[in-house]
Amino acid sequence: MLNFDEQRFLRIQSGAVALQKHLEAAITSCLTAGAENIFFLGTGGAAILMQPASQLLQRRSRFPAFIDMPAELVITGSAHLTEKSIVVMPSLSGTTKESVALLGKLKEIGAKIITLVGNEETPLGKGGDHVFVNFAEDDTSCESFYLQSLFIALAIMNCRGEIENYEQVIAELSKLPELLLEVKRAYEPKAEAFATILAASDYHIVTGAGNVWPEAFYYGMCILEEMQWIRTRPVHASDFFHGTLELVEKGVSVILFKGEDELRPLAERVQNFVPNYTEKLAVLDTAEFALPGLSPEVRALVSPIVLATVLERISAHLEVMRNHPLTMRRYYKRVAY
């Protein structure tokens, strides 16, 4: 595979899986101590990656789950954010300034802080009540963060008796590192062709629904915009027909992500509409990838993880094709802002 270290990938994703029991213990401790809600408080891309777990709790659990922006909470606070709150703060660097700024306020409030970081020797690595460290880099962090947050959500549901097959689901999720590697290998011959589609336009509408919508948002904002300087319009598939459809015409590129949860029909609605008005529709569908040993329920849960692992292969080809390394920035961490 192009510019890819298989053993490094396995090590990082296996590291995320290895945190499951420890995350479960931390959640059990917090709930036993009387926690009443959970906040997922990441910044930028890390925040987006928390959305599937938050959505899972909002739709399948009665335990209140919130997702908000640290930069805003530092200023406004929240009536729901109390000493009875669990706060999950993901940051690969452990130094994200908006999250670090909120850390002190959280300690004053007395919330229980769970930090997910790539480096312990950082403000967030040292600032949590429960700190989980799994070294990763930009090309491997998505799967790791998705998995860790999913383990947190499932642990809450298990503690509350809201999931009957918890052990089976966790056992299936433990197979993901090797399964994802096989997905990458199988998709590699197609990755360059998809990258060509992305390189061919300087503007893309990127859409999806359900738990893969965050990956559509993330890929548009954090990869195509930040890392490739390609303009995008991420829009949820349920909002596509309330404005964005008017931008679809001949020559306009639409990128559609399809997952396997119950909201798949929203993506299919877009897929049925777009080819009537533009020849540039590209679809990534997780149902096309082999994941032996995973039940339909777990396949649906991991759809954003599968997309992330496939998109990494596409991005590897895209940066070479455009002679634009994914590490190149104009402003991010380069100028004052």
Which string of b and e fits 179-205 if b means at least 16 CB within 10 Å?
bbbebbeebbeebbebbebbbebeebb
Exposed/middle/buried for residue 6 (C-beta within 10 Å: 0-12, 13-18, 19+) = exposed
Strand segments (E) across 111-160: 112-117, 130-133
Q: How high is the pLDDT of residue 337?
A: 86
Residue carrying structure tokens 């991991």: 302
The residue-averaged pLDDT of 106-118 equals: 97
What are the pLDDT digits (tens) for 324-336? 999 999 999 899 9
What are the pLDDT digits (tens) for 121-166? 999 999 999 999 999 999 999 999 999 999 999 999 999 999 999 9
Domains of the chain (ranges, CATH numbers) = 6-167 (3.40.50.10490), 176-321 (3.40.50.10490)
**Does the pLDDT at position 171 exceed 90?**
yes
Find all residues with CB under 8 Å of 288, minimum gap 6, and list them: none
Quote the distance between the C-alpha of residue 150 and its chain's center. Answer: 10
